Chain A
Amino acid sequence: MKIKYKHQLYMGSISDMKSLEEHFSKMAERGWMIDKIGAVNHRYRAAEPCKKRFFVDLLPSIGTFDYPDNDDAKSYRQICEESGWTFISANGQFHVFCAEGDENEITPIHTDNKIQAKLHIKAIVKFELLTYIYCLVMFSIFAFLQFRFTGYDIYLSNMAIFSLFGWMFFLLGVLWSLTFVLVRIFKLAKAAKEDLPMPKISYRSAKARTGVQLTLFAIAITFFFGGMVLEIAGGMSLAIISPSLACIVGTFVGFWIRRQINTKERTRKQNRNLFIGAMAIMVVVLMVLSVFSMYLIFTLEENAAKPVKLPVITLSDVTEAMTPNNTYYDVFGSIAVPLHYSYGETTNKSDLSMEVFRPINKKIAQDLFNHYAKMIESDDEMTYFHLGTREAALWGADVAVETAYGSNVGLLLMRDKTILRVWFCNECIEQEAVQQAVQSFWLELALVK
Chain B
Amino acid sequence: MSVLGLVFSNPELYGSTLAMATPLALGALGGTFSERTGVVNIAMEGIMLIGAFFGVMAAASSHSAWIGLLAGVVAGGLISLALAWPAVRLQSDQVILGMAINLFAAGLTAFLLNTVYGFGGTPISTPQLPQLTIPLLNNIPFVGAVLGQQNVVVYIMILLVIIGHFFLFHTNLGLRMRAVGEHPEAADTVGINVVRIRYFGVLIGGMMSGLAGVYLSIGMLNSFEVNMTDGRGYIALAAMIFGKWTPFGSLGAALLFGFATAVSYSLQNYGVSANLIGILPYALTIVALTGVIGRSKAPAADGLPYEPSK
Are A and B bound to each other? no
Measured CB to CB, the residues of B under 8 A from A are: none
